[in-house]
């Protein structure tokens, strides 16, 4: 798919790849673009998401990825 910076182009590219793509279920306003590729995170998180994110950030400290729970 390559990198897509424009929101409408991003949604169109994901829909071309998968017609079932529903942008309401993804953080399309904050894509992750690197080395010619684009990723978006799902917003369909469950009760174990915070623990998983914590484990990932601790396992890969060089990535310098941080997060915080909503409302904090």
Question: Does residue 72 have a pLDDT over 70?
Answer: no
**Domain containing 45: what range?**
7-63
**Domain-embedded: residue 72:** no
Residues 51 and 42: beta-carbon distance below 8 Å: no
pLDDT in tens, 1-33: 555 558 899 999 999 999 999 999 999 998 988
**Dihedral-angle region of residue 64 (phi above 0 means left; psi in -120 to 50 means alpha; beta otherwise):** left
Q: How many domains does the chain divide into?
A: 1
> pTM, whole model, 2 decimals?
0.65
pLDDT of residue 3: 54
pLDDT in tens, 46-66: 889 889 989 999 999 998 888
**Domain-embedded: residue 35:** yes
**Domain-embedded: residue 71:** no
**Domain-embedded: residue 58:** yes
Cβ-based burial of 23 (10 A; exposed 0-12, middle 13-18, buried ≥19)? middle
């Amino acid at each position: 798919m390559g990198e897509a910076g424009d929101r409408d182009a991003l949604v169109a590219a994901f829909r071309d790849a998968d017609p079932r793509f529903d942008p309401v279920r993804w953080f399309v306003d904050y894509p992750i673009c690197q080395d010619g590729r684009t990723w978006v995170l799902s917003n369909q998180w469950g009760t174990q998401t915070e623990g998983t994110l914590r484990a990932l950030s601790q396992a890969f400290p060089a990535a310098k990825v941080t997060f915080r729970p909503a409302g904090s």
